[in-house]
Amino acid sequence: MPEIKSIDLRGKIADAGAVHFLRAEWMVPRSRFVIVRFSLHNKEQPLGVRLDLDKRAILDDVQDEETSAAVKARAQEIWNLVINYRKERHETYV
């Protein structure tokens, strides 16, 4: 089983309403998608949301429309953290 790679998002990504961002995770090297873990009202949720790195977008909704929009607005910032992490480790092709 491949190990889970994880980037700590706490303190790096601003909250979106009651959503507090925790980690970006992936298991497959160079995977196109990462799972963004978050807590809602201080309770970590069993399911995260998908960040599509190719589209630089979070695909899933959280709670209501306003919260979802706020979560999706964080996609580029999280993308930057993931890509910088991968670049430092030469996990991009070119």
Partner 1 sequence: MNRLRKCTPPLFHSGGAHGQESGMALFYKGVGVGTFLYGNDPRINGMPPRAPAITYNAGVAMRHIVRATTVSPCVSLTRSYGVAEMYAREASLTFPSVTSPAYVYEVDIPDPIPTGITLIDPVREVAATLPSPVTSLSYFHDGDKEFILGVASPTLMATHLNAPIRQPPGSGGASRSAVLTLELEALVRALRDAEVLVHGTVPASLVTVRHAIV
- Residues forming contacts to partner 1 in the complex (CB under 8 A) are 4, 25-28, 30-33, 35, 46-50, 52-55, 57-60, 83, 92-94
3-class DSSP state of 40 = strand
Burial (CB count <10 Å: 0-12, 13-18, 19+), residue 40: middle
Closest CA to 44 of 20, 16, 66: 20
d(CA 44, CA 49): 12
> CB-wise, 3 or 11, nearer to partner 1?
3
Min dist. Cβ of residue 48 to partner 1 (A): 6
Min dist. Cβ of residue 16 to partner 1 (A): 17
> CB-wise, 11 or 77, nearer to partner 1?
77
Amino acid at 79: W
Min dist. Cβ of residue 28 to partner 1 (A): 6
Min dist. Cβ of residue 4 to partner 1 (A): 7
